[in-house]
Amino acid sequence: MLPRPMARARTVHGTSVSPGLAIGPVHVVRAAPDAVPHWSVPEDEVGNEIERLRAAVVAAGDELQRRQRLVASQSGERDAQIFAVHRMILQDPSAVRDVEETIRGERINAESAVQHFIQRLERTFRPLEGNSVRSYSADLSDPWREVLQALMHVVQSADPDDGKVILAAAVLTPQVVTSVARERLLGIVAEAGGRFSHAAVLARAFGVPCVVGLPGLLQRLEQGMTLALDGGRGSVELRPNDEQVSDFHERKSRLDARRANLAEQSALPARTTDGAELRVLVNIESLRDFDIFDVAHTDGIGLCRTEFLYMERPQFPSEDEQFRMYRRVLERMAPRPVTLRTLDIGGDKRLPYFQTPEEANPALGWRGLRVSLEWQDLLRVQIRAALRAGVGRDMRLLLPMVASLEEVLATHKIFDGVRGALLEQGWEVDSDVPVGIMIEVPSVLLCLDELLAHVDFVSVGTNDLVQYLLAVDRDNPWVSKLYEPLHPAVVRALAQIAKAARNAGKPCSVCGDMADDPAVAVMLLGLGYDSVSVAPYFLPEIKYAVRKVSLATARGLADDVLAQSTVEGVKRVLSNIRDALHA
């Protein structure tokens, strides 16, 4: 029998989208009515149904505009942008025509026709069964759910009082995240929704703890029930008892006090007691991330996931649009370095306007650099924009999902061609933009020396490296227990990479999520990494941890970890340093 993804324990575990602790009453948001009425429509009433549909589309557009204004006033234009995209989706006349055709052809009511349309959208954009894909189809169908609500006169937000709440929903969507005012939002839990959805980006930008991947959760909730949510651990306690509540409050006040204290020290470099420095950079996914960290506290951007900038738009951004986006990032960070990763779509990350194939094994499929090398015009436009934006700035380019030297050589050729064309057209272009590769695919480990000879730096994408090294799909809840970044094979691979990079005289960094853990960051320093790049929330803890140890301690830790042959062993060694850091 297959394992149940979630047992009926009082503590349930899911996927962390956004860290932090929250405790409070739950408000279950029903993003769509439970039952959509269905009836047949006589020929002479078809016109009426179409009128009802059109009126509902207008009403839904108004509601989205209202939300756009609300979010813009509460958290800025960038956060509100998703609602503009949703309004554009609703303005697509071919979609409205499609629903009208269903009403006419099948002689059914408008609600039913809209529901069919939503189902069709979800089928089209659900070539995978993963949570994150479900969240993309949700992004596309959300505006149409709004139409359904308007037709059925459902009031969407409306929680009973105006106190603070933890929102719970079937799917994490931007509507869910913004269904109560930001100052009332304690946290969010959802049965489904990947950490790569727009909604997840919003949750992180709002800085509220958020956990997804909790199948069956809603059945177990009642409006107002108390939840204790640990966003970092991805756990949710249902109806905590008095003792758990007071423990939780205690943990939370300790966490708040600690974070306030660390934030004050974050301007200091991450320098060990004996003077070695680990540069701590941040990963960004949106320009709005600038609201959640202090540029002066970072050593730069180690990973700009450009695909998320693409996702914030209704179609591929033009060269000039990309130029402006990249320039903004580079200018905000100057003189600090900015590492732009070329488009990393496919697998679990999709663009609503770019249909990728249905694949049996998407993680092993058409993704990252493979897409860029096939759709070379996409890559060319991106590199043109980046090279134009990078003039006079410390910009680096990073290639995702590299599996072979041939791919790197082919990419260099494209970059050289783009550079040559720009120069010919009279653009100014820096001649020495460093190009690096993500180390995510195990084949790279076996060809590392040759690859290092052809790149300027490497950055280890442990999120993917772990999945490929251990053959565990990072989005598959059935095997999530086996997804173990602290597997000895991972640690040994990390050591091998650092050693090879050092021998080649090339900088190496880790930009996958495992570097978010301060004990791991210290281990990475000990293994010989120059830098880590982490989500901004984790930067203060990491800098603090590095400042507390000596390089000798970090090296000793790395040696001890490398001597372990089990996950348990690695964890035990790391927990010692963790205790020391918290002492």
**Could you tell me if 20 and 231 are in contact, meaning their C-beta atoms sit under 8 angstroms apart?**
yes
Any catalytic annotation for residue 297? Answer: no
Task: Give 322's contacts (C-beta < 8 A, 6+ positions apart).
Answer: 309, 381, 382, 385, 386, 389
- Binding stretches for ligand PEP (CB under 6 A): 303, 305, 344, 440, 461-464, 511-512
Shorter beta-carbon distance to Mg ion: residue 194 or 461: 461
Q: Which residues pair with 229 in a beta bridge?
A: 22, 236
Shorter beta-carbon distance to ligand PEP: residue 180 or 460: 460
**Closest approach of Mg ion to the CB of residue 124, in Å:** 25
Q: For residues 75 and 178, give the distance between their C-alpha atoms in angstroms, rounded to a whole number.
A: 11
Residue 362 makes contact with Mg ion by CB under 5 A: no
Please name the residue that has the structure tokens 């999945």: 467
**Closest approach of ligand PEP to the CB of residue 510, in Å:** 8
Q: Name which of Mg ion, ligand PEP, none residue 305 binds, using a CB cut-off of 5 to 8 Å depending on partner kind.
A: ligand PEP
Shorter beta-carbon distance to ligand PEP: residue 290 or 308: 308
Shorter beta-carbon distance to ligand PEP: residue 45 or 359: 359
Q: Beta strands 226-230 and 185-192: pairing type?
A: unpaired
Whether the upstream peptide bond of residue 317 has omega within 30° of 0, thus cis, is no
Q: Name which of Mg ion, ligand PEP, none residue 462 binds, using a CB cut-off of 5 to 8 Å depending on partner kind.
A: ligand PEP
Query: Dihedral, CA atoms, 281, 285, 286, 289, nearest 10 degrees?
Result: -40
**Closest approach of Mg ion to the CB of residue 328, in Å:** 24
Q: For residues 516 and 523, give the distance between their C-alpha atoms in angstroms, rounded to a whole number.
A: 12
**Closest approach of ligand PEP to the CB of residue 538, in Å:** 14
3-state secondary structure (DSSP) of residue 60:
helix
**Closest approach of ligand PEP to the CB of residue 512, in Å:** 3
Shorter beta-carbon distance to ligand PEP: residue 293 or 319: 293
Select from 215, 158, 177, 292 the least CA-distant residue to 15.
Answer: 215
Any catalytic annotation for residue 13? Answer: no
Name the burial class of residue 364, with classes exposed (0-12), middle (13-18) and buried (19+) by CB atoms within 10 angstroms of its CB: middle
Residue 473 makes contact with Mg ion by CB under 5 A: no
Q: For residues 213 and 40, give the distance between their C-alpha atoms in angstroms, rounded to a whole number.
A: 38
**Could you tell me if 308 and 78 are in contact, meaning their C-beta atoms sit under 8 angstroms apart?**
no
Please, which of residues 448-467 interact with Mg ion by CB under 5 A? 461, 464
**Could you tell me if 323 and 358 are in contact, meaning their C-beta atoms sit under 8 angstroms apart?**
no
**Closest approach of ligand PEP to the CB of residue 344, in Å:** 6
Q: For residues 261 and 124, give the distance between their C-alpha atoms in angstroms, rounded to a whole number.
A: 49
Residue 541 makes contact with Mg ion by CB under 5 A: no
Give the tokens for residue 169: 């929903």
Q: Name which of Mg ion, ligand PEP, none residue 511 binds, using a CB cut-off of 5 to 8 Å depending on partner kind.
A: ligand PEP
User: Looking at 198, 210, 297, 508, which residue is catalytic?
Assistant: 198
**Closest approach of ligand PEP to the CB of residue 474, in Å:** 8
Residue 307 makes contact with Mg ion by CB under 5 A: no
Shorter beta-carbon distance to Mg ion: residue 193 or 461: 461
Residue 348 makes contact with Mg ion by CB under 5 A: no
Shorter beta-carbon distance to Mg ion: residue 61 or 461: 461
Give the tokens for residue 59: 């009403």
**Could you tell me if 435 and 419 are in contact, meaning their C-beta atoms sit under 8 angstroms apart?**
no
Q: Name which of ligand PEP, Mg ion, none residue 541 binds, using a CB cut-off of 5 to 8 Å depending on partner kind.
A: none
Active-site positions? 198, 511
The contact set with Mg ion (CB under 5 A) reads 461, 464
